[in-house]
């Protein structure tokens, strides 16, 4: 099974409930991106139209490896803007009263093509598509865990006081998509770990512009204090570290809950970057009706949970070898309390037919369209359908 072989294979359209107002102080636009990272596109608009990035409102981050259409707001004082480039288009819609903010959307509409399908998979995929009316567990998926390397969560390492490990992850771990200059730097630091003078000299020689890397290495050069060096990490990154670990704990809590209600014969496990997901192959109508009305809270240190929630949270924290009170040790960022639906149910599902795949010899492709409410991951639905559960 293959996804995203072309950007056109993954199309995302944001669903926003808005009301135009001729007297509104903010202009509403659609922004279409093709293969461009969200914040990079916002930065480009900022420079191109001389609008401060903080003045550009948006509801959510969209996938880079896709064609995406989302809404943004810009104060009316900057005029009616327009852009029509190969991979970036901006179109004015009208005026609204308030700027857009993160999370203030209804959901997203997805148009996805799955490729490299074998003929012997047709029946199972078709069955799984029909079963989408029963939804799927509402896990956070891999996109949430970009800061996790080799299964190590930076926030967890901080809770354990392992600041050297934290700094080592930040200064030496990299992904395939990172720029060559940064990957080369991280390889050099890994090879010369502890020789901070040499690392700082390398940064200056290669004219690497990252303030974070330079300041961290400079701090280590003069004080060799990993906790102090961590203070130079951007606060937005620190928030991501907390969010990643909190999301992982929520996934584990959901899996633990599902073990209590899903019979063993109906459990299916699917791997992801931080462990395994538990899906249900079949589910009784009565249980489904119960689950679709339920949610589970994120773990924070200052909330009183129900007895059943406490039992599950305690079991997961025991596996992690941490206590809920440990989160009070974090001297940066903040754990966010929210109640997340237990299952995600696609709406307005449309399925195509199996067709010959022009990109993969002797294989087939199929199109799938559906809408999801905000916060749910299309890739979880794809795992439900195409991992042949």
User: Within a 10 A sphere around the Cβ of 53, how many other Cβ atoms?
Assistant: 11
What b/e sequence results for 208-239 when a residue is b if at least 16 CB atoms lie within 10 Å of its CB, and e otherwise? Answer: beeeebbebbbbbbeeeebeebbebbeeeebe
Residue of 9, 17, 22, 63 marked active site? 63
* In the block, residue with structure tokens 């109906």: 266
Secondary structure (H, E, C), the chain = CECCCCHHHEEEEEECCCCCCCCCCEEEEEEEEECCCHHHHHHHHHHHHCCCHHHCEECCCCCCCCEEEEEEEEEHHHCCCCEECCCEEEEEEEEECCCCCCCCCCEEEEEEEEEEECHHHHHHHHHHHHHHHHCEECCCCHHHHCCCECCECHHHHHHCCCHHHHHHHHHHCCCCCCCHHHHHHHHHHHHCCCCHHHHHHHHHHCCCCCHHHHHHHHHHHHCCCHHHHHCCCCHHHHHHHHHHHHHHHHHHHHHHHHHHHCCHHHEEEEEECCEEEEEECCCCHHHHHHHCCCEEECCCCCCCCCHHHHHHHHHHHHHHCCCHHHHHHCCCCCCCCCEEECEECCEEEEECCCEECCCCCCCEEEEEEEEEECCCCHHHHHHHHHCCC
Catalytic annotation present for 63: yes
- Catalytic residue positions, numbered: 63
């Amino acid at each position: 099974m293959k996804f995203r072989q072309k950007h056109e294979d993954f199309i995302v359209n944001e669903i926003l409930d808005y009301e135009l107002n001729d007297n509104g102080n903010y202009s509403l636009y659609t922004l279409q991106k093709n293969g461009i990272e969200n914040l990079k596109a916002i930065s480009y608009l900022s420079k191109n139209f001389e609008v401060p990035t903080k003045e550009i409102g948006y509801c959510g981050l969209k996938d880079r490896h896709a064609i995406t259409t989302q809404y943004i707001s810009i104060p009316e004082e900057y005029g009616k803007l327009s852009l029509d480039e190969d991979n970036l288009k901006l179109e004015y819609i009208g005026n609204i009263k308030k700027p857009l903010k993160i999370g203030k959307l209804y959901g997203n509409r997805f148009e996805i093509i799955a490729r490299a399908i074998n003929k012997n998979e047709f029946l199972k995929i078709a069955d799984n598509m029909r079963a989408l009316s029963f939804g799927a567990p509402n896990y956070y998926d891999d996109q949430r865990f970009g800061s996790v390397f080799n299964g190590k969560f930076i926030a967890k390492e901080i809770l354990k006081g392992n600041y050297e490990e934290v700094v080592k992850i930040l200064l030496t771990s990299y992904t395939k998509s990172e720029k060559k200059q940064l990957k080369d730097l991280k390889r050099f630091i890994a090879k010369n770990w502890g020789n901070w003078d040499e690392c700082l000299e390398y940064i200056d020689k290669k004219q690497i512009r990252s303030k974070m890397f330079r300041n961290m290495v400079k701090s280590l050069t003069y004080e060799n204090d990993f906790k102090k060096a961590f203070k130079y990490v951007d606060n937005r990154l620190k928030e991501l570290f907390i969010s990643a670990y909190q999301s992982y704990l929520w996934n584990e809590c959901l899996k633990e809950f599902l073990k209590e209600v899903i019979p063993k014969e109906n459990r299916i496990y699917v791997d992801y970057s931080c462990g395994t997901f538990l899906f249900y192959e079949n589910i009784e109508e009565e249980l489904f009706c119960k689950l679709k009305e339920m949610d589970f809270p994120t773990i924070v240190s200052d909330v009183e949970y129900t007895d059943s929630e406490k039992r599950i949270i305690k079991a997961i924290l025991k596996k992690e070898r941490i206590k809920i009170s440990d989160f009070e040790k974090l001297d940066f960022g903040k754990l966010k309390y929210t109640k997340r639906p237990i299952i995600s149910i696609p709406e307005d599902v449309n399925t195509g037919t199996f067709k010959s795949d022009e990109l993969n010899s002797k294989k087939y492709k199929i199109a799938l369209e559906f809408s999801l409410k905000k916060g749910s991951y299309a890739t979880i639905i794809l795992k439900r359908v195409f991992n042949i559960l």
